[in-house]
Chain A
Amino acid sequence: MGAVASYFASLSLPGLFARIPAGVAQGLVWGLMALGVYITFRLLDIADLSVDGTFSTGSAVVVMLILSGVNPWAATLIAMAAGLVAGTVTGLLHTKLGIPAILSGILTQYALYSINLAIMGFKANQAVSVDKYALIISSRTIPKAILTGVLFSAAIIALLYWFFGTELGSSIRATGCNQQMAKAQGININSMKVLGLAISNGLVAMAGALSAQYSGFADVNSGRGAIVIGLAAVIIGEVIGEALLGKHLNFAGRLAFVVIGGILYYIVYTVVLWLKLDSNLMKLFTAVIVAIFLAVPYLRGQSKSSFRRAGKDAAASAVEAYDRDPYAWDKPQNTDNAQSAGETDAADKGVK
């Protein structure tokens, strides 16, 4: 009892509130990453695992460029371009070489680990100080970081909303929805897949670049699990967006809620750390949450109709019949009794 009491005494609520803004800032950056995941997972119907690699690529490229004197804005753009290239590679592995999409992503991600190390001069991490360079975003000034994150999110959401409303963007959506239909309308579905993967990974690398500037260093492992965190943000955002707006949730709203999902994820993360739980448990926690939310639509369907349920209902009605008349089985099914046959006929007619 004493231990529990002292544990709770050691938690300070003001301490939590003090940490929340940093969680929001980080969540905004990862929300941008989740927008990339949304494009592949929801619009193209591909679970693209390259993002774990491209997030680190974005970090590595931006930090090394800034260290060599490139303007942080230009460095962030170049990092984004690196992500575009990585996504294109995944797309070509899938469309030109016929490798299943999920494997193509894994291969790119695996290769990127070496490439990212090479970019960082074969060091696992590289620091970049906000004191020396004019970084776009930094954890040193949280309110400014939040503002930057919000502006970035708004700009990217506007850009995506516009793009997926154009002929080209709409062709990508058609490809993700129904490939045969897309082909019949003259859409080159392979090009659309490559383009979608490229844009997605470009966004993810941009988020990686912002994340590295925010934390002041690039780490070769910074993108590990990005796909799962991205999915968590997408799913949390969808559930909350649909609960709040229902049918009024349009495409821009969906994108905004993906970013909000990222923020909520990092607020939960902040709370977990505040509770002094081991942050290493966060991966387990995230995986469980994502699994549950991905399973919900399936389980909902099962609750309406499944073999298990049909079997239970059948058994229940048998028990009910037994309770009504335990000896029904011992009674003749077709009686030759004229009177009862007459009754049955009458009943039949009554029904008709």
Chain B
Amino acid sequence: MLELKNVSKTFNPGTINEKKALLNINLRLNEGDFVTVIGGNGAGKSTMLNAIAGVWPVDNGSILIDGKDVTGLPDFKRAAYVGRVFQDPMTGTAATMQIDENLALAARRGLSRGLRWAVTQAERDEYREKLKILNLGLEERLTVKVGLLSGGQRQALTLLMATLQKPRLLLLDEHTAALDPKTAEKVLEATTTVVEKDHLTTLMVTHNMKDAIRHGNRLVMMSGGRIIYDVSGEEKKNLHVSDLLRKFEETGDGELSDRMILSAAE
């Protein structure tokens, strides 16, 4: 489904700010895998997601989605395969456009856009049904500008947009980190519902170790631009936060962020 082969990326090479963000990453996801990604600050979690999404070209290696080499494609072309939800709730939606217009833009991800109407009545009815899944009452507010919604509502909407046109791969980049705990829980719940309903192949970066253990069938830990731990199946189910903390200590880079420590203490 997704394959990263020897992917490397260095930011600001040759300068004092040089940062080796990804070092020979090799990762292979099977159809329907729901992989949670954890790691300290600067471990390379978001960088790996951005490399897959095609935000910038990688220095080395190749990226394959569904057996197709997408290494040379920019992000808007990879969007045909990839659905994304960002950490900042403001990023995933167009604030000055209506809820139905945002959804319609997402419904045409990977398709050619011409002079047909941007949103049709049939689509509006369909969106109303799909918005009900989120359980936020948005189905009654289809023509409201997205800028008037709360961060949690916008994030839930972004999630729906990312999955409206079934993506080959869903990338969630700490998409609940900017939300209050209650809203975060709701959005995460909606995520699981959507992912399980469509058996979406998913990569979810999270700082919350409990969430990382509770969700998905596989867990990947990163440190210093490398994947240092990759666990799935029964072994993953039996993981405890303390196991992960021990793993972190083994890395010895002491990059555990406050947020991660707090999430472990919850």
- B91 x A178 contact (CB < 8 A): yes
- A185 x B95 contact (CB < 8 A): no
Instruction: Tell yes or no: A283 within 8 A of B by CB.
Output: no
- Choose one: B97, B110, B118; the contact of A166 (CB below 8 Å): B118
Q: Which of B71-105 contact A (CB under 8 A)?
A: 75-77, 79-80, 84, 86, 90-97, 101, 104-105
How long is the Cα–Cα vector from A62 to B80 in the complex, in angstroms? 44
Which bracket fits the contact residues of B?
20 to 34
- B93 x A178 contact (CB < 8 A): yes
How long is the Cα–Cα vector from A182 to B97 in the complex, in angstroms? 12
How many whole Å from B18's CB to the nearest CB in chain A?
23
- A167 x B92 contact (CB < 8 A): no
- Choose one: A170, A180, A189; the contact of B101 (CB below 8 Å): A170
Instruction: Tell yes or no: A319 within 8 A of B by CB.
Output: no
Name the residue of chain B whose CB is nearest to the CB of A184: B84
- A185 x B86 contact (CB < 8 A): no
Q: A183-B75, A184-B75, A188-B76 are in contact. Are A167 and B93 (CB under 8 A)?
A: no
Instruction: Tell yes or no: B109 within 8 A of A by CB.
Output: yes
- B109 x A181 contact (CB < 8 A): no
Q: Fill in one digit per residue for B94-132: 1 if any A CB lies within 8 Å of its CB, else 0.
A: 111100010011101111011111110000000000000
- Choose one: A168, A181, A182, A186; the contact of B110 (CB below 8 Å): A186
How long is the Cα–Cα vector from A167 to B114 in the complex, in angstroms? 6
- B114 x A185 contact (CB < 8 A): no
How many whole Å from A197's CB to the nearest CB in chain B?
18
- A186 x B114 contact (CB < 8 A): no
Instruction: Tell yes or no: A171 within 8 A of B by CB.
Output: yes
Q: Across the interface, which residues of B come within 8 angstroms of A182, CB to CB? A: 76, 94, 105
Q: A170-B105, A187-B105, A189-B76 are in contact. Are A181 and B92 (CB under 8 A)?
A: yes
- B76 x A177 contact (CB < 8 A): no
Instruction: Tell yes or no: A165 within 8 A of B by CB.
Output: yes
Q: Across the interface, which residues of B come within 8 angstroms of A181, CB to CB? A: 91-94, 105
How many whole Å from B127's CB to the nearest CB in chain A?
15
Q: Across the interface, which residues of B come within 8 angstroms of A183, CB to CB? A: 75-76, 79
> Which of A169, A177, A182, A185 is most buried by chain B, counting CB atoms within 10 A of its CB?
A185
How many whole Å from A297's CB to the nearest CB in chain B?
14
How long is the Cα–Cα vector from A185 to B81 in the complex, in angstroms? 10
Q: Across the interface, which residues of B come within 8 angstroms of A163, CB to CB? A: 115
- Choose one: A169, A178, A180, A189; the contact of B118 (CB below 8 Å): A169
Q: A166-B115, A183-B79, A188-B76 are in contact. Are A178 and B95 (CB under 8 A)?
A: yes
**Total interface residues on A, using CB and 8 Å?**
22
Name the residue of chain A whose CB is nearest to the CB of B77: A186
Q: Across the interface, which residues of B come within 8 angstroms of A185, CB to CB? A: 79, 105-106, 108-109, 161
How long is the Cα–Cα vector from A187 to B101 in the complex, in angstroms? 14
Instruction: Tell yes or no: A255 within 8 A of B by CB.
Output: no
- Choose one: A168, A169, A174; the contact of B94 (CB below 8 Å): A174
- B113 x A187 contact (CB < 8 A): yes
Q: A167-B108, A168-B113, A168-B115 are in contact. Are A177 and B77 (CB under 8 A)?
A: no
How long is the Cα–Cα vector from A139 to B73 in the complex, in angstroms? 55
Q: Across the interface, which residues of A come within 8 angstroms of B95, CB to CB? A: 177-178
How many whole Å from A40's CB to the nearest CB in chain B?
15
Instruction: Tell yes or no: A173 within 8 A of B by CB.
Output: yes
- A165 x B96 contact (CB < 8 A): no
> Which of A168, A177, A182, A184 is most buried by chain B, counting CB atoms within 10 A of its CB?
A184
Q: Across the interface, which residues of B come within 8 angstroms of A177, CB to CB? A: 94-97
How long is the Cα–Cα vector from A182 to B114 in the complex, in angstroms? 16
How long is the Cα–Cα vector from A184 to B88 in the complex, in angstroms? 14
- A167 x B109 contact (CB < 8 A): no
Q: A171-B105, A185-B108, A186-B79 are in contact. Are A178 and B94 (CB under 8 A)?
A: yes
Q: Across the interface, which residues of B come within 8 angstroms of A180, CB to CB? A: 86, 91-92
Q: Which of A147-181 contact B (CB under 8 A)?
A: 163, 165-171, 173-174, 177-178, 180-181
Q: A173-B97, A177-B94 are in contact. Are A184 and B114 (CB under 8 A)?
A: no
Q: Fill in one digit per residue for A109-153: 1 if any B CB lies within 8 Å of its CB, else 0.
A: 000000000000000000000000000000000000000000000
- A186 x B109 contact (CB < 8 A): yes
Name the residue of chain B whose CB is nearest to the CB of A187: B76
Name the residue of chain B whose CB is nearest to the CB of A177: B94
Q: Across the interface, which residues of B come within 8 angstroms of A167, CB to CB? A: 104, 108, 113-118
Q: Fill in one digit per residue for B158-198: 1 if any A CB lies within 8 Å of its CB, else 0.
A: 00011000000000000000000000000000000000000
How long is the Cα–Cα vector from A123 to B94 in the complex, in angstroms? 48
How many whole Å from A188's CB to the nearest CB in chain B?
5
**A interface vs B, CB < 8 Å?**
163, 165-171, 173-174, 177-178, 180-189
**B interface vs A, CB < 8 Å?**
53, 75-77, 79-80, 84, 86, 90-97, 101, 104-106, 108-111, 113-119, 161-162
Q: Closest 10 interchain pairs by CB?
A: A186-B79, A170-B118, A167-B113, A177-B94, A186-B109, A183-B76, A178-B94, A166-B115, A185-B105, A177-B96
What are 24 A-to-B residue pairs whose CB atoms are below 8 Å?
A: A163-B115, A165-B117, A166-B114, A166-B115, A167-B113, A167-B115, A167-B116, A168-B115, A174-B105, A177-B94, A178-B93, A180-B92, A181-B91, A181-B93, A182-B94, A183-B75, A183-B79, A184-B84, A184-B86, A184-B109, A185-B79, A185-B161, A186-B79, A186-B109
